[in-house]
Structure 1
């Protein structure tokens, strides 16, 4: 099985201007080499048959992706409209500024099959493509954000995957994201 880094994920995980809330201490090439060389601790099923999650122990100084919202840090939440790429419509997002999350224990690579990526107009030269990565304290998936579920349900024309919303998964996502937020450094 060969894994490659997609053009969608590259600027999000390894931006030109380094950010503290992205993958640290490693090049994109070394990251992919590690995923291909070191077997994952676990392989989790993703939200659709074409999605797999490879759980690896964190070998970098990358910090956890999300922070619990508390009364002590709620005043540090910010929000704004943003798009993940120039082709997508902006959506409302929120994040923390001024927090210091712990170093993540796990990096969970989000992989899409080559067939799905071709369907979405992003063919790859490999079996699986990295479309994202979660940085977590536990070897478990962080629920997909509700807006990502909605975008997926809109279809590939709007930057999604074409997978309909699962109402139970959506409710779990809302419950999680009401109590957590991403952060920016």
Structure 2
């Protein structure tokens, strides 16, 4: 099985501005090389048949991507409209500023198979392409954000995957994200 890093994921996981929410102490090439050499501890099914998550122990200084909201940190929450790419429409997001999350114990690269990436307009030579990565304390998936689920249901033209919205999964996502937020 071969894995490559998509340009979409490269811009988000290895941005040129060196932001602390990116993968730390590892180049994009070294990251992909590690994933191709080191088998995952576990392979998790993703939200659709074309999606898999590989669970790897964190070999970097990367910090957790999600923090629980508490009375002690609620005042550090911020929100605003953002787009992931120039082509996508901006959506409302929420994040912490001024927090120091713990180092992640696990990195979970999110992989799409070659056929799905082709449907989305990204041709790859490998079997799988990295479209994102979760940085977690536990070796399990963080629920997809509700807005990502909605974008996926809108289809490829709007930056999604074309997977229909599943109401029960959406409700679980809302329950999680009401109590957690990303950070910057």
TM-score by length of 2: 0.99
State the distance in 1 between where 2:32 and 2:72 align: 38
Alignment of 1:19-98 (within 5 A): 19-98=19-98
State the distance in 2 between where 1:133 and 1:79 align: 22
What is residue 136 of structure 2 aligned with on the other side?
136
Q: Per-residue deviation at 1:37? A: 0.2
Give the alignment's Cα RMSD to 1 decimal: 0.4
Q: Per-residue deviation at 1:125? A: 1.6
State the distance in 2 between where 1:8 and 1:15 align: 11
What is residue 124 of structure 1 aligned with on the other side?
124
Q: How many residue pairs were aligned? A: 184
TM-score by length of 1: 0.99
Q: Unaligned stretches of 5+ in structure 2?
A: none
What is residue 102 of structure 1 aligned with on the other side?
102
State the distance in 1 between where 2:113 and 2:123 align: 10
State the distance in 2 between where 1:55 and 1:6 align: 19
What is residue 163 of structure 2 aligned with on the other side?
163
Q: Per-residue deviation at 1:123? A: 0.9
Q: Per-residue deviation at 1:82? A: 0.3
Instruction: After the TM superposition, list the runs of 4 or more consecutive aligned residues in structure 1 that deviate by more than 2 angstroms.
Output: none
Residue 8 of structure 1: SS of its match in structure 2? helix
